[in-house]
Amino acid sequence: MKLIKGLTLLSLAAAPLYGMSGTASAEGGAKLLTLTKGSSQMMLDGTSVTAVQPMTIKNNFSYVAFSTLAQLYGYKTSYDAKSKESIAKTPSGEIRFRMNTKDIWVDGVKWTGEAPSFSQKGSLMIPVRTWAKVSRSSISFAGKNIMLSWADQPSAAFQIQPSVIHAGEAVQYIDQYSSPAGLPLLSEEWTGKQDVFTEPGTYTVTRRVQDASGIWSEPYSADVQVLAVNQPPVADFSTDKEVYRQGEQIQYSDLSTDDNNAIDTAKTKWTGRQNAFFEPGEKTVTLTVTDNEGLTSTISKTIQVTDEILYTQEEYGLLFTPAGEKISVDGAHIKDIPKIKYGIESEPSKMMRSNSPELWTSEGIAFDDQFDGKVRMLFHNKNTLGYNVKMYLAVTNEGFQTSRFGVKATGMGGPDPSEIRTGKLSTIRYLTALNNNVPETFIDVKPGQTELVLQEISAVPIKPGMVYSAYADVSASSTLRFRVIVVADGKDPLAEMDSMELMPADGKHTRGSFNNTDRDLIVDGVIGEQPQQILLGDNNYDPYLDGYDNTDGSLQLNRGNFGVLYKMSITLAPRTVVYLNPRGGLFAGAFIINGQLVPVTNNEQLKDQNEGAVLYRSGDSVETVEFKYMTPSGSNLPVTMVFQPMPGLKN
């Protein structure tokens, strides 16, 4: 069910609180309050009352002090300093006013009054007409006098369930009766009430109630929108043609419909759909759509593919596959494409790589070293213990002055069973944060103090068999000791830290500290006039960084140059396609190209050298393109960027 208006508003809309003109009287047990313009004196049922402020005229609206009116009506008043609202409350509800606005909240429902409230000598002044509305009072006028009349009426409020009603469904009415005097319900009258609405449409349900004293409430109404019984969606699609050549692009149009226009596009599923086919024959394409109530519809159509070849699969991929998507390539041929010898200029930068042991077999200290300035951190590990653990980064100030610790770009992946997926996600998220230039946050670490920082890495327990991967750019204004602690979930890492042993390196992966971890690759000339490639992570064209493991003093080689940020400014020939090709096995990560993130790939990973991921295509003129890249943890190296002329277009 969809209420046309809020229930409280509907109840009030049916009551005389909107300021009915006429003569207010105290008949039938009602109370009568007489206000006089410019005077602080009021008459309540013949008794004189002095208000805290006189009735005031401002911008042609009459105002009275909120506190006086609320108390005369029997409300308890208070002030919410946080929301800056003055509150009038009874056991059955509350009204909230805020200074300098027309907005009012009646039992949590927002109202708009006739004029804004204001402050006069420390008192909140509210429009008399607005008060009449929200307090269910009749209002009348006689010369300089305004009369308000009201009774302590019960409320006939109710709620209708369910929230969405279809024709033929059972309806429940939830009683929300209340009495200002706390009296029980004596009787009630309904109009338009039905236990089942058999036809769709809009219905009005109205209720009046009588309390034990005999006083009747004002009518309380709710509009109920009854929908037709939900029908399954109708799946349908079309293609721009019925017969295609091999390698010819196919344009699909989803023509599916739903009676409530509520198809859940996230659940739309295509089977057999390809943007082009590369074998002749009949191809069946199936579309399944689902509405937001779970009803489905499926349709299949057949596409005819002829023996004629417009583009081969590789030609089609080079021409039309979107950036970030996978293409098929001839991996054996790529190794023979000429390699570009590029220059390397390193920027002064530091990195901590905590990747050995890659498999945690015990609790302990995974990394221990000292840093100051800016540092990039790399974590990539798998929990092979038989219980949940957490990883923490502790920084200790062993100096004599307070050090400021900062965190800027971060990227986390996992915990997840897939090593390559965690590496891909952490790389994508880190490069996204880097590209967005996220603001740096800081804490102070006092002399002798140890702080747990980079709380993101310890937010979730790492279960057995799960992999966790992360990057973070941090900084320290003076030297801090960095320790990576792995402990059972539930343990206090700071209490355990000083008694824990250092984890031995596994001899295969890398643990260490490295310098010059931002690399600018200098590529001369115009690239792409003929097939060329830039090889990364091979330790020949792209030498591995050397560093040290401070825990045992050993020299270390950053095999794969994981954690190194590469930057390239490359001039491309017209109509050049750039794609990534893995030469060492599974690969999944991301590039930033001209400020745009391009995943490798959008939905999958590259499995072997016969697959590629399109990165970029140049236009019809020479252009300079900026690339940023980081070797993703969990992927295999080397990897190559291939630049080659696009095939010619055909009709």
What was the pLDDT predicted at 25? 41
Q: Looking at domain 237-310, which of 3.30.450.60, 2.60.40.10, 3.20.20.10, 3.40.720.10 is its CATH number?
A: 2.60.40.10
Question: 215-229, 244-258, 341-355, 464-478: which has the minimum mean pLDDT?
Answer: 215-229
Q: What is the mean pLDDT of the chain?
A: 91
pLDDT of residue 123: 93
- 83 Cβ neighbours under 8 A, 6+ residues apart: 96, 98
Which single residue is written with the structure tokens 């105290």? Answer: 26
Residues 104-132 pLDDT 10s:
998 888 888 999 999 999 999 999 999 99
**Which pLDDT belongs to residue 8?**
31
What confidence score (pLDDT) does residue 218 get?
82
Given a cut of 50, is residue 3 above it in pLDDT?
Answer: no
Mean pLDDT of 607-613: 96
The predicted model gives 199-223 an average pLDDT of 90
Average pLDDT over residues 555-574: 95
- 647 pLDDT above the threshold of 80: yes
536 vs 557: CA distance, rounded Å: 16
Instruction: Supply the pLDDT for residue 181.
Output: 67
Q: Which residue has the tokens 């721009």?
A: 240
Q: Domain 2-150's class?
A: alpha beta
Least reliable range by pLDDT among 68-77, 201-210, 433-442, 506-515: 68-77
Q: Pairing relation of β-strands 364-383 and 359-360? A: parallel
Above 60 in pLDDT, residue 5? Answer: no
* CATH code given to domain 326-346+518-645: 2.60.120
Strand pairing report for 364-383 and 350-354 = parallel
What is the pLDDT at residue 473? 97
Task: Give me the architecture of the 158-225 domain, per CATH.
Answer: Sandwich (2.60)
Distance CA 223, CA 206 (A): 9
Mean pLDDT, residues 327-347 taken together: 94
In whole angstroms, give the CA distance from residue 592 to residue 574: 21
Strand partners, 376: 351, 473
Give the β-pairing of 2-3 and 31-36.
unpaired
> Which band of pLDDT confidence, cut at 50, 70 and 90, is reported for residue 205?
very high
In residues, how long is the chain?
651
Q: Are strands 611-617 and 326-328 parallel, antiparallel or unpaired?
A: antiparallel
Query: How many Cβ atoms from other residues are within 10 Å of residue 512's Cβ?
Result: 25
pLDDT at 229: 86
Give the DSSP H/E element, type plus range, for residue 430.
Answer: helix 419-435
Residue whose C-alpha is closest to residue 289's, from 252, 235, 253 = 235
**Over residues 90-104, mean pLDDT:** 85
Selection from 271, 268, 273 nearest residue 249 by Cα: 273
**Count of CB atoms within 10 A of residue 182's CB?**
11
Please check whether the two domains, 158-225 and 237-310, share a CATH topology: yes
**What is the pLDDT, as a whole number, of residue 92?**
59
Exposure string of 376-413, with b = 16+ CB inside 10 Å and e = fewer, is: bbbbbbbbebeebbbbbbbbbbebeeebebbbbbbbbb
pLDDT at 217: 85
What is the residue extent of each domain of the chain?
2-150, 158-225, 237-310, 326-346+518-645, 350-514
Least confident of 58-67, 134-143, 203-212, 489-498: 134-143
CB-CB contact of 634 with 420 (8 Å): yes
**What H or E segment, with its residue span, contains residue 9?**
helix 7-14
Question: 379: closest CA among 487, 443, 456?
Answer: 456
| Unique residue bearing structure tokens 């159509």 | 301
Report residue 215's pLDDT band, with 50, 70 and 90 as the boundaries.
confident
Q: How far is Cα 440 from Cα 432, in angstroms, rounded to an integer?
A: 15
State the alpha helices, DSSP H only, in 115-260. 128-134
Q: DSSP of 175-191, one letter per residue?
A: E--B-TT-PPEEEEEEE
| pLDDT score at 418 | 94
pLDDT score, position 91: 58
Q: What's the pLDDT score for residue 125?
A: 95
Percent of the chain with pLDDT over 70: 95
Per-residue pLDDT at 93? 72
Please report which helix (H) or strand (E) contains residue 496, including its range: helix 493-497
Banded pLDDT at 18 (limits 50, 70, 90): very low
pLDDT at 7 > cutoff 90:
no
Q: State the sign of the Cα–Cα–Cα–Cα dihedral 239, 244, 247, 249.
A: negative
